């Protein structure tokens, strides 16, 4: 087959990630997989290193997915299996997300003779409340980082932890979920009176998300907006964390106003129910997808001034930013917005317009495929 015929075929990309939970990385991969289906230039194959919630959601979307569970951090047998998959499927490029996928994917790509792109969504040093574990993961990721042909960062703030390797900053893109699709108001299902003001967060629940601060803020909000309710939506990433949050709500006397829903896959309906979204993170945000989804849903965002969140939310225009751990400031922003329908509507409309300009899947994929083109051209020049 001549080179022209080869180049006219869509090139294959192996997209590797952990896949145990369904957080920002997994939502990114699902969006990319759906939006790239049938594309003329690149065809993704998803590879999950854990058999978790991601697999089911990928299969429900009829995405091409392989699952190769890893046994331990230095699973060299898995490296061999992934390298074999790359050769069998004639993969042109490997795109890794998360530290375990970085380690396996970089080594497998080199063994199979294809380039690798590593995508950085958040700070490894801030990933969990366990500082020792974070440091170990940081060193673990450094073992193979020089094998990377290009880094992609979702926000400029993430570059500070890395040497000046060849890199691109590509903000996340999300689906504008509220486009012309009727959504359910979840108040009746959750036992919330119709028309009651509702605020809340949607996240993988862990200490760094600052949900305890939101519960403290909820107590203050209820004093100013007596009929307000707070939703806390998401699965638990740290054992016992949700129980501690429920105990806190009970201690503060707000159990009847703070609703823990667990994980839900109807995020568009949740956003439709909320009057505003809160993301009170203490640290550790790259470019949070749920903030972008909220902007597309015309819901203003009250969030903390951490890392990539400041890239997504324009303070005073599309939402309100406060310093981390500032529960009184958080409560003031929430209460002010709940009490001003016109301001919420104006912020929501500005937020959607801004998101349509900066955070669409089309823009993200276009920029990413330009990186793929550059990496493949450079790699061909080396071999």
DSSP character string of 136-169: HHHHHHHTTGGG-SEEEESSGGGGGGS-S-SEEE
pLDDT at 381: 78
Give the whole-angstrom CA distance, residue 55 versus residue 63: 10
Task: Map out the domains of the chain as residue ranges.
Answer: 3-173+360-382, 187-358
3-state secondary structure of 106: helix
pLDDT at 309: 95
pLDDT at 1: 34
Would you say 178 and 265 are in contact if contact means Cβ atoms under 8 Å apart? Answer: no
Residues 6 or more apart whose CB falls under 8 angstroms from that of 224 comprise 331, 335, 339
Q: Which residues of the chain have pLDDT under 70?
A: 1-8, 177-180, 383
pLDDT at 145: 96
pLDDT at 21: 76
- Helix (H) or strand (E) segment spanning residue 79: helix 76-88
pLDDT at 179: 60
- Asked if 3-173+360-382 and 187-358 have one fold, the answer is yes
Would you say 313 and 348 are in contact if contact means Cβ atoms under 8 Å apart? Answer: no
pLDDT at 7: 59
Domain covering 3-173+360-382, topology: Rossmann fold (3.40.50)
Residues 6 or more apart whose CB falls under 8 angstroms from that of 166 comprise 149, 150, 151
Superfamily for 187-358?
A: Glycogen Phosphorylase B; (3.40.50.2000)
pTM: predicted TM-score of the whole model, two decimal places: 0.86
According to DSSP, the β-strands at 65-67 and 319-322 are unpaired
Give the whole-angstrom CA distance, residue 289 versus residue 277: 12
């Amino acid at each position: 087959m001549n080179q022209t015929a080869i180049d006219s075929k869509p090139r294959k990309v192996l997209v590797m990630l952990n896949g145990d939970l369904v957080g920002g990385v997994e939502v990114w991969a699902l969006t990319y997989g759906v939006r790239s289906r049938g594309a003329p230039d690149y065809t993704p194959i998803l590879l999950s290193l854990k058999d978790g919630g991601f697999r089911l959601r990928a299969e429900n979307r009829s995405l091409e997915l392989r699952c190769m569970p890893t046994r331990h951090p230095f699973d060299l047998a898995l490296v061999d299996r992934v390298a074999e998959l790359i050769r069998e499927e004639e993969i042109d490029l490997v795109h890794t997300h998360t530290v375990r996928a970085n380690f396996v994917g970089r080594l497998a790509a080199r063994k199979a003779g294809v380039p690798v792109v590593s995508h950085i969504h958040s700070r490894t040093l801030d990933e969990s409340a366990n500082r020792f574990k974070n440091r170990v993961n940081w060193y673990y990721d450094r073992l193979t980082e020089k094998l990377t042909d290009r880094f992609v960062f979702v926000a400029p703030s993430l570059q500070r932890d890395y040497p000046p390797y060849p890199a691109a900053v590509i903000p996340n893109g999300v689906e504008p979920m509220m486009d012309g699709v009727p959504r359910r108001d979840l108040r009746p299902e959750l036992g919330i009176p119709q028309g009651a003001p509702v605020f809340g967060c949607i996240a993988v629940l862990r200490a760094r998300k600052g949900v305890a601060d939101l519960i403290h803020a909820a107590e203050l909000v209820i004093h100013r907006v007596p009929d307000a309710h707070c939703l806390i939506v998401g699965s638990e990433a740290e054992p016992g964390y949700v129980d501690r949050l429920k105990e806190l709500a009970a201690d503060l006397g707000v159990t009847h106003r703070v609703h823990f829903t667990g994980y839900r896959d109807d995020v568009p309906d949740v956003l439709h129910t909320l009057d505003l979204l809160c993301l009170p993170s203490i640290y550790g945000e790259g470019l949070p997808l749920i903030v972008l989804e909220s902007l597309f849903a015309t819901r203003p965002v009250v969030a903390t001034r951490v890392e990539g969140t400041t890239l997504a939310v324009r303070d005073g225009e599309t939402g309100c930013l406060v310093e981390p751990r500032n529960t009184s400031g958080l409560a003031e922003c929430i209460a002010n917005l709940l009490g001003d329908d016109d301001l919420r509507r104006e912020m929501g409309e500005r937020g959607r317009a801004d998101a349509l300009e900066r955070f669409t899947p089309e823009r993200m994929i276009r920029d990413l495929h330009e990186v793929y083109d550059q990496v493949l051209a450079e790699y061909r020049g080396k071999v």
